Chain A
Amino acid sequence: MTMESSVVAGSEPTVEPRGFELIEREGLETNLLEVSMGPHHPSTHGVFRMDVKLDGETVTELRPVFGYLHRNHEKLAEDMGYLGSMPFTDRLDYFCSMTNNWAYALAGEKMIDLEVPERAEYVRVIMAELTRLVNHIMLVGFFVNDLGALGTPLLYALREREKILDLFEWASGARMMCNYMRFGGLRNDLPEGWLTKCREVVDAFPYFLDEYEKLLVENEIILVRTQNVGVLKPELAINAGITGPMLRASGVNYDLRKVDAYGVYDRFPFRVPMGEVGDCYDRFMVRILEMRESIKILRQAMDELPEGPIMGEAPRVFKPPAGEIYGRIEGPKGELGFYLVSDGTAKPYRYRVRPPSLVNLTVLEDLCLGHKVADAVVILGSVDIVLGEVDR
């Protein structure tokens, strides 16, 4: 594989080739073992590839390679109206279609100065926090699966996720590709009885979490496998633009729900769990603790859910004035931003998704160097990527 980039318009880019070197050890002449983990590897979370160079089992170099799922979402969006991109945002991070919808709706609403009815805001919070539960529970499941636990925690996670997906289906018509939010509100109101069922699910969730923690948190094997593995220093985390639970696991307090207080998040008192070491265990625990906070928010939001319309005075097809906007929310994986540039027509001139998964991958090599292959898989699991979002 050539390390050089293809020559393009403009002068040749400066590339420092990180070569393939022979290492001498006690008279033995050995080569590094170059392994291409992926794109069809059981635990690369989709079609993702890590070009790994191994010294024995120790990772000496790791290059993430992706784009296998690339469909140029941004180009597609430039070719259709603002609303037309909404169902495509579902497919970015297919675990979290609700938050993706919200982020896009938020950007669009900023652009044309739309008011969102209060009930819609509350329902959005409920949906977003349910999505956070889904995402984190699946992440923890897959994470432990990457540790080699033969899927038992994963299947428990799937079992719980199923209940939430049923709720999504009931409200929006689809389990994963919800396409539920609209500029200025929601597509439809919650059906009758939904809230009761949702309360049931949310009330049962802490019991499940207790059991889950009992199964995993004190397990010695998980402790030795994850503690002090893949330590991310807060300075590097900030510099590399890491967001979401991964950043907070490194001890940086930056939660957009607090910082931006978009929607009605300023009305919910909740805490933001912080890690101290920034290793895989912290990333894993911060997510579990975040789920508990999400449940608090959910309970409060369901209690205070006001009556009223769910859709404001919003046009379905609109032409925003020329300008640009950057709207962001705290997605379950990190800061999900939508950057929209309008030239005054009904289609966005430029539509950009700021994918948290992609940016969080930046530090993958830094985290993995010096660890074993098995750790590389675990670290990748703790970074939490979804290739639909990374590749777009």
Chain B
Amino acid sequence: MLVQFANWVQGELACSPALAKIVGILLAAVPLATVFALCFAFTTWLERKGLARIQNRIGPNRVGPFGLFQPIADGIKMITKEDIVPRSSDHFFHLIAPLLVLVSSMACLAFIPFGLGMTMSPIDTAVVFFFAILGMNTLAVFLAGWASRNKYSLLGGMRAVAQMVSYEIPLVLSAVTVVMMVGSLDTREIVGAQVVEGWATSENSGLRFLGQIAGWHVFTPWGFAGFIIFFIAALAETNRSPFDLPEAESEIIAGYVTEYSGFKFALFFLGEYIGAFAVLGLAITLFLGGWNGPNFQPWWSSDPHALLIPGFVWFFFKMFVLMAVLIWIRGTLPRLRVDQLMSFAWKFLLPLALVNVFVAGFLFHVAKEDRVWASVAAFVFLYLVAKGLSRMNQSDAPAPRKYHFAE
């Protein structure tokens, strides 16, 4: 709808191409910013409620029905709060850092196809651009830690750099498998490749239904392993539990956001969630079929490409499911230690991701015919590799112990 509206406006403004371009960008950017700001608000509510239920509490229930207006109340509180800047901090960078986090996260969203024709910046090298811009996040976080002039902030900033740089490699490597298999860096093409064409446009409604799922990359051995690696690395990349070391509240207070208050803190908060949306959005695009989902032929249309449920509904549904998983993980797991975190990245995820790339190449080039057997073999192989790697890393494998009693 929005797209059609945008096209119509651009058509009307065709007389002056420059103006049309600016209006076009605005028309794409404004809904993006609004929608994701709303998503952010809803996610904070969801997170608070979900965590509360996991912890046997009720959660916010005073502001609005089910506490739904709690994010608004929080927002008002954040905006009206005093903005405290430490006297000895680097004021300019202290101000810039939260903006940079938000901007880089927001920019990443531009490459995600939310629905058919709903990619804000449809370029051929979207995946590369995505990772390039995501890398800016690291810089911003370190800037915040450095500029605050606080030892905890500095520790948090350094942890963030170490962690994000290490986890970016398995993240990219697992994305590489998809790029290899699809043969394109364009996110739209990657989504398109996950539809089984023959089924999706067939007359049989059952096949049509399945056609939208069966091609998801997550159902292939390399895709499955890739998705798990990608997901774990995404947790670390977005500083979510159990990899939330840069802001580990039990060790370094709040890490790099220790010295932030008021609206700047809210920006960090917002930026982090938007970053999480972006990375999850990429995960959906790469492995979970993007905006495709089980769908039906609308009764009013005979167009084989027409869908009953619009694509963006599927996309946001998937995003919130993944978000819920993040919340669930956050409610359950304790945090890793710095050295364990790093060794997990370098000694486990990275080799596994590399092996996964080889497996993907093998399947793509060698075992084209015997697909089923090759797939099973690849699954088993990947599992064995993962297990072997974990064995190798922990020479004195921690295990539950038996205890004896003295009478």
Contact = CB atoms under 8 A, between A and B. Distances in A.
A and B touching (Cβ–Cβ under 8 A): yes
A221 B335 contact: yes
A42 B396 CA distance: 32
For B250, B253, B338, B339, the residue with the greatest tally of chain A CB atoms inside 10 Å of its CB is: B250
Interface in A135-154: 144-152
A375 B340 CA distance: 12
B305 interface: no
A286 B403 contact: yes
Nearest to B337: A374
Contacts, number: 123
A286 B406 CA distance: 12
A12 interface: no
Interface string B235-264: 000000110110011111100000000000
Contact of B334 (A149, A274, A372): A149
Nearest to B241: A150
A372 B337 contact: yes
B253 A41 contact: yes
Contacts of A107: none
A108 interface: no
Contact of A271 (B251, B330, B405): B405
A276 B252 CA distance: 31
Most A CB contacts (10 A, CB to CB) among B54, B242, B337 go to B337
Contacts of B399: 223
B403 A274 contact: yes
A281 B401 contact: yes
A276 B241 contact: no
Interface residues of A, number: 50
B93 to A, nearest CB: 20
A151 B250 CA distance: 11
B407 interface: yes
Contacts of A23: none
A225 B151 contact: no
Contacts of A224: 336-337, 340, 394, 398
A224 to B, nearest CB: 5
Contacts of A215: 332
Given A159-B56, A272-B405, A145 B331 contact: no
A30 interface: no
Contacts of A271: 405-407
B322 to A, nearest CB: 19
Given A33-B151, A57-B338, A373-B251, A152 B401 contact: no
B386 interface: no
Given A148-B250, A155-B55, A274-B406, A374 B398 contact: no
Interface in B178-221: none
Contacts of B249: 42-43, 148
A281 B56 CA distance: 26
Contact of A372 (B56, B244, B339): B339
Nearest to A226: B398
A200 interface: no
Contacts of A29: none
Interface residues of B, number: 40
Interface in A105-154: 144-152
A275 interface: yes
B333 interface: yes
A280 B336 CA distance: 15
Contact of B57 (A155, A275, A281, A377): A155
Given A33-B151, A276-B401, A145 B56 contact: no
Given A222-B334, A224-B398, A275-B403, A148 B57 contact: no
A42 B253 contact: yes
Given A272-B405, A289-B403, A43 B334 contact: no
B64 interface: no
Interface string A261-291: 0000000010111111100011001100100
A188 interface: no
A72 B70 CA distance: 45
Nearest to A154: B55
Contacts of A144: 334
A372 B403 contact: no
B400 interface: yes
B273 interface: no
A42 B247 CA distance: 12
A113 B57 CA distance: 49
Contacts of A220: 398
A217 interface: yes
Contacts of A227: 398
Contacts of A41: 253
B342 to A, nearest CB: 11
Contact of B336 (A155, A221, A274, A277): A221
B55 A219 contact: no
Interface of B: 51, 54-57, 151-152, 155, 241-242, 244-245, 248-253, 330-340, 394, 396, 398-401, 403-407
20 contacts: A43-B249, A43-B250, A148-B241, A150-B331, A152-B55, A221-B333, A221-B336, A224-B340, A225-B334, A228-B398, A272-B406, A273-B405, A275-B403, A276-B404, A277-B401, A285-B403, A372-B337, A374-B248, A374-B251, A374-B335
